[in-house]
Amino acid sequence: MKGMVRLLLPPLVGLLVLAGWEWAVGAFAIPAFVLPPPSAVLAALWRDGPLLLTSSWLTLSITLQAFLLALVTGVALALLFSQSRLAAAALYPYVVALQVTPIVAIAPLVVIWVGYERVNLALLILAWIVAFFPILSNTTLGLSAVDPNLRDLFRLYGASRWQTLWRLQLPSALPYLLGGMKISGGLALIGAVVAEFVAGSGTASGLAWRIIESGNRLNMPRLFAALLLLSALGIAIFAGLSFVQNRLLRRWHESELGRQ
């Protein structure tokens, strides 16, 4: 009974808020260009469906490409850092510099360098810059956070560097990597959207551009519909990565115990 209430409570609250919103817009005669009623947003979602879905797909594909690129480069660089202190010492400051410089400030430069005719590539690069740091830093941390006794055990049996990496460090780092991936997935989406905002002026046609465009035309229902899709994308990415995390860790890692 209590479980049912817990399960039903969030959608119930949502419905109540939507109903109140719909009622308030009518009762206080709020113009649609300030706050459209939920019904108008739903209608916009239906009417502009094909357009918005095409845009969603573009944003999603840039996000996913940036995420995969971040995963590959982040893990590769973390492996390099774990094998060579010299490489870590030499490169890490620049990685941090790239990370702490706000992406909005880098974006115009990247867009100009890559060129407006290849703006999708610019978006990909910008989303990648934002997404790759959590993977790098978490994996680096994970590769060094090895049980010291297990490390001694590997030394005792004369394990090679490769054996230690493959059988000890990588599995130890997996929970950290998965945590980094969860952050990075969300950041890739944010990066893709911010980059599109900066690129602007209709050269790209992802969800971010739909939002700017709708705002300029005071087409609030469509703006809300685009926002809705954007947050749906974010939730889907998070849920997907949570699922992967659970699959990989549920048999052995503390973070996933007692969840079944």
Partner 1 sequence: MSPLLNVAGLSLAYGKGTLALDGVDLTLNRGEFLSLLGPSGCGKSTLLRLIAGLLTPSGGQLQWQSPIARGDIGFVFQEPTLMPWARVIDNVRLPLEIAGVPRVAATDRAMAELEKVGLQDFSKSYPRELSGGMKMRVSLARALVTRPALLLLDEPFAALDEITRLKLNDDLLSLWRRDGFTAIFVTHSVFESVYLSTRIAVMRPRPGRIVAELPVELPSQRDYATRTGAAYNDHCRTVSTLLHQAMEAAP
Binding site residues, partner 1, CB under 8 A: 147, 149-150, 152-159, 163, 167-168, 171, 174, 251-253, 257
Shortest distance, position 176 Cβ to partner 1, whole Å = 13
AA identity, residue 30: I
Looking at the Cβ atoms of 243 and 252, the one nearer to partner 1 is: 252
Nearest partner of 42 among 236, 234, 228, judged by Cα: 228
- Please say whether the beta carbons of 120 and 57 come within 8 A: no
Dist. CA 140–CA 78, nearest whole Å: 5
Shortest distance, position 158 Cβ to partner 1, whole Å = 4
Shortest distance, position 70 Cβ to partner 1, whole Å = 24
Looking at the Cβ atoms of 181 and 211, the one nearer to partner 1 is: 181
Looking at the Cβ atoms of 53 and 257, the one nearer to partner 1 is: 257
Nearest partner of 65 among 219, 188, 245, 153, judged by Cα: 188
Query: What's the token pair of residue 77?
Result: 């660089």
Query: What's the token pair of residue 113?
Result: 């360098």
Dist. CA 112–CA 152, nearest whole Å: 52
Shortest distance, position 163 Cβ to partner 1, whole Å = 6
Looking at the Cβ atoms of 94 and 162, the one nearer to partner 1 is: 162
